Structure 1
Amino acid sequence: MTSTDRSTWGPASSAVSDSWGVPLAALGIFATCYYVGYVVSNAAGGLLTDWLGSRVVLGTSMLAAGALMTVFGSTTSIPLGLVVQGLVGLFAGVEFAAGMKLITTWHPPHEIGMASGIFMTATSLGTVIANAVVPTLIVHAGWGAAYHTFGVTTMVLAVLCAIFVRNGNVQARQGKRALPDVRPLARNKDLLLLGIAGFGGLWGTYGFVTWSNTLMIKGSHISPVDAGIVVVIFSATAVAVKPLMGWITDRLGLGMRLPIIAILLLFTATLLVFGALHSYTAFLVVAPVLGIAAYAYSPLTAAMIPKLSGDRLAGSAAGAVNAVWQLGSVLVPAAVGPVFHATGSFYAAFALLAVGPLLGAVVLLGVRNDRPSPGRPAEPVTAAGR
């Protein structure tokens, strides 16, 4: 649901621009404010998850994020809107660390890939739901109705999480809760490189999610509803490919690194192809391939985190690494707008997006082989243990 909240800005941004008189080049600042809050809470949220448990963190943060979504839907002030977007991101940002902590404690290592794939369908499902629902809500009730609808739904789910989600066995074994010692994470070079690789991947993924609607509307004169359909197809493919990719890598036992590199290189190529297109039909044809490439790496990068950090610090590691990943989401919305505004080139905008996954593929070459030895899972590696 928090992914749906985050994805609402993409299809709603053009209507907000018309309503508030915000110029095209400045639209990305709203998404950037969201991701600034998101990154800050990721850095601290993982620590809170290891300390307080996922149930408390999930219920509290989602309740606040949903309430702030409804506030944004009634906002008429641009400065207040920027602040509220940042606060929504601040409370939504802990969900990844809390979820990965639960997956690590609920499942054995050989199932983490598929479990992560199922969990990570959230990001693509959120985009599908937002692009399928928001354009219609805007036509019939205005853009504010979308934020009100999703905000209330998020608050309902927050209550359900607080009641029904159970913390994992690691939390129970630790007994009395205390702040974890996260210093080993700072010495783990592989986690840092994984963070940079994910930064590049999300630069491409969320740059597309944030800007594709507006770029197709303004750059190729596609209708808002048609642009939404393209993004729905783009994201819907990931609903199947994420758990499938996790399942395949779990069964093959070949590690995550090489499959991620291959996917990021495919992502780079398909972004460049998409940027060269101009017709609605061509967008529809390429969208599913681009969707596979844009999302298939994410469950694998997520599954690598506990393999490199160990179970005890899985929440803190997930939060810290995802904070680095999401810097791509912070920077890319503000970068694409000025490039498109200055050049008027649809292709130039997508060439800028393609730089991210290419960087990610190159950086992953420096990460150690995470393939487990026969008969035992891979052990986390720190600088002290090299």
Structure 2
Amino acid sequence: MTTTSGSPAPPRIRRIQFLSLSLLVLSGAINYVDRATLAVANTSIVKDMGLSLGQMGLLLSAFSWSYALAQLPAGALADRLGARRLLGFGLIAWSIAQGAAGFVQNFFQFVVARILLGIGEAPQFPSAARVVSNWYPPAQRGAPTGVFNAASPLGSALAPLILTQALLVLDWRWLFILTGLAGFFAAALWFALYRDPADLPLTEEERAYLAEDGAKRETETVTFAAWAALFSHRATWGMMLGFFGSVYLNWVYLTWLPAYLVNERHMSLASSGLMASIPFFCGFVGCLVAGWLSDQISQRSASPVLGRRRAVALAMFGMAAFTVPAALAESNAFAVFCISVVIFLANAASACSWALATAVAPPNRVASLGSLQNFGGFLGGALAPIITGFIAQTHGFAPALLVGAGFAFLGALSYLFLVRAPIKA
């Protein structure tokens, strides 16, 4: 690993970078397995608790509403408190909420558990953006951003593959209990192994490597006024509106794909688990490819903002284009292929969007801007399962998918026309 000037990263920094990304991928994968548990157990819960598709849509969205709102303080807290404390306590909180969902007795209690899960999981990606901005120079943040973002499709792919098999032999409640225990394990590892730059005695060589951005920024305090000032910039609104479209379409598939394959495509529970995992494994590859590619585009563009913005918009246009045949195709195999391309591009767009936040934000507000973008995205994530559930209940899944394609197309336009230049410190 080298800086923009060509000097290699010191050996200890390289070890910290590898360890940090490994822990972020572990916690992020558990994060998304926890989110997807409800989607995988969807049909079993509907039968056991007597819920309608509309009610399940509301239940699937409860997480996203609280997650989106919790993004507002999460980014500022990550910048102010540091990633180690915020993500560590977030892991503990969301694991408690996830395990509690295995003991709910009615719809209201389930909604409360999902709301608390959203609050607990909110620090994951703002903290990850902060970790990358702490330990990597600006021109090299695309690849590590792609790596930590790859945890989301990895978790989404593993969830139907593992949990569907568990559901064949266990009651659905055990899925929530066991995944909650996995979160406690990740929290213990995070607290034991990760440190922020301010917590370590750095050598002169290490400080020189980080001086361009990371080590200096660790001492800068983010005030409420500085956080609120982000709303006065067009780029902030462009990123929020753009990510709304990206996350909306992604969450249509994330929350409804297993049920869609069973109810609309008439697949068995066992086969739907395998088919639902394929698109998300493609998404895992999409994050890794996009992170590396966005670095290459950024280094060859007039500015990092221009290169990363173009990468986001191109991926989102592709998401919209491939959703149309996914919705209308008669062949199940071709539909799954198109959905796989959409999820590949959705996760590529997500990785590029978080890398874009590190290019647009002032150095001491990277997590703050990233969390505002994520707030806009998860307003889309909150609406997607509700709108999809009610459209599917009355008109079928195809119109619901086409609505998602329209939101993704409009989101791409928001990135192109509103995100033009970095925000000055």
Answer whether TM exceeds 0.5 for this pair.
yes
Task: Tell me which residue corresponds to 1:83.
Answer: 112
Task: Tell me which residue corresponds to 1:322.
Answer: 374
Task: Tell me which residue corresponds to 1:356.
Answer: 407
CA contact (8 A) 1:209 1:231 kept: no
1:191 counterpart (236, 243, 251): 236
Q: In the TM superposition, what is the alpha-carbon distance from 1:175 to its structure 2 partner?
A: 4.1
Q: In the TM superposition, what is the alpha-carbon distance from 1:224 to its structure 2 partner?
A: 2.1
What is the distance in 2 between the residues matched to 1:223 and 1:46?
Answer: 41
Query: 1:281-360 counterparts in 2 under 5 A?
Result: 281-343=333-395, 345-360=396-411
Amino acid at match of 2:350: S
CA displacement, residues 26-45 of structure 1 (integer Å, 9 cap, x when unaligned): 11111211111101211111
Q: In the TM superposition, what is the alpha-carbon distance from 1:234 to its structure 2 partner?
A: 0.3
Aligned residues: 373
Matching of residue 271 in structure 1 with residue 300 in structure 2: no
Matching of residue 365 in structure 1 with residue 416 in structure 2: yes
Q: In the TM superposition, what is the alpha-carbon distance from 1:282 to its structure 2 partner?
A: 2.7
Q: CA RMSD in A?
A: 1.8
Q: In the TM superposition, what is the alpha-carbon distance from 1:89 to its structure 2 partner?
A: 0.6
Q: In the TM superposition, what is the alpha-carbon distance from 1:101 to its structure 2 partner?
A: 0.8
Task: Tell me which residue corresponds to 2:274.
Answer: 229
Amino acid at match of 1:352: V
Amino acid at match of 2:160: N
Q: In the TM superposition, what is the alpha-carbon distance from 1:281 to its structure 2 partner?
A: 2.6
Q: 1:189 to 1:136 in 2, by over 3 A?
A: same
What is the distance in 2 between the residues matched to 1:280 and 1:183?
Answer: 47
What is the distance in 1 between the residues matched to 2:219 and 2:106?
Answer: 48
CA displacement, residues 61-108 of structure 1 (integer Å, 9 cap, x when unaligned): 111111111110121221111111100111101111111011111111
CA contact (8 A) 1:197 1:359 kept: yes
CA contact (8 A) 2:77 2:86 kept: yes
Q: In the TM superposition, what is the alpha-carbon distance from 1:184 to its structure 2 partner?
A: 3.0
What is the distance in 2 between the residues matched to 1:108 and 1:203?
Answer: 31
1:105 counterpart (134, 154, 161): 134
What is the distance in 2 between the residues matched to 1:18 and 1:171?
Answer: 53
Q: In the TM superposition, what is the alpha-carbon distance from 1:230 to its structure 2 partner?
A: 2.0
What is the distance in 2 between the residues matched to 1:234 and 1:179?
Answer: 41
CA contact (8 A) 2:327 2:335 kept: no
Where 1:118 maps in the other structure, the secondary structure is: helix
Q: 1:274 to 1:57 in 2, by over 3 A?
A: same
Seq. identity, %: 20
What is the distance in 1 between the residues matched to 2:187 and 2:216?
Answer: 22
Q: In the TM superposition, what is the alpha-carbon distance from 1:381 to its structure 2 partner?
A: 4.0
TM-score under structure 1 length normalisation: 0.92
What is the distance in 2 between the residues matched to 1:174 and 1:289?
Answer: 39
Amino acid at match of 1:366: F
What is the distance in 2 between the residues matched to 1:188 and 1:72?
Answer: 40
1:261 counterpart (304, 313, 316): 313
CA contact (8 A) 1:134 1:143 kept: no
Matching of residue 36 in structure 1 with residue 61 in structure 2: no
Amino acid at match of 1:268: A
What is the distance in 2 between the residues matched to 1:174 and 1:105?
Answer: 7
2:184 counterpart (155, 178, 183): 155
CA contact (8 A) 2:133 2:358 kept: yes
Task: Tell me which residue corresponds to 1:375.
Answer: none
Q: 1:22 to 1:367 in 2, by over 3 A?
A: same
2:101 counterpart (72, 90, 100): 72
Amino acid at match of 1:120: N
Q: 1:51 to 1:132 in 2, by over 3 A?
A: same
Q: In the TM superposition, what is the alpha-carbon distance from 1:354 to its structure 2 partner?
A: 1.0
What is the distance in 1 between the residues matched to 2:197 and 2:282?
Answer: 31
Q: 1:149 to 1:171 in 2, by over 3 A?
A: farther
Task: Tell me which residue corresponds to 1:376.
Answer: none
Matching of residue 60 in structure 1 with residue 89 in structure 2: yes
What is the distance in 1 between the residues matched to 2:385 and 2:332?
Answer: 23
Task: Tell me which residue corresponds to 2:8.
Answer: none
Matching of residue 7 in structure 1 with residue 42 in structure 2: no
Q: In the TM superposition, what is the alpha-carbon distance from 1:171 to its structure 2 partner?
A: 6.5
CA contact (8 A) 1:261 1:364 kept: yes
Amino acid at match of 1:291: I
Deviates more, 1:223-232 or 1:6-15: 223-232
What is the distance in 2 between the residues matched to 1:201 and 1:262?
Answer: 12
TM-score under structure 2 length normalisation: 0.84
Q: In the TM superposition, what is the alpha-carbon distance from 1:249 to its structure 2 partner?
A: 2.1
Unaligned runs of 5+ in 2: 1-29, 199-213, 302-306
Where 1:365 maps in the other structure, the secondary structure is: helix
Task: Tell me which residue corresponds to 2:22.
Answer: none
2:253 counterpart (205, 208, 230): 208
CA displacement, residues 102-137 of structure 1 (integer Å, 9 cap, x when unaligned): 111111111111111001001101101111111111
Unaligned runs of 5+ in 1: 371-378
Q: In the TM superposition, what is the alpha-carbon distance from 1:174 to its structure 2 partner?
A: 4.8
What is the distance in 1 between the residues matched to 2:347 and 2:218?
Answer: 34
What is the distance in 2 between the residues matched to 1:272 and 1:114?
Answer: 30
What is the distance in 2 between the residues matched to 1:87 and 1:242?
Answer: 28
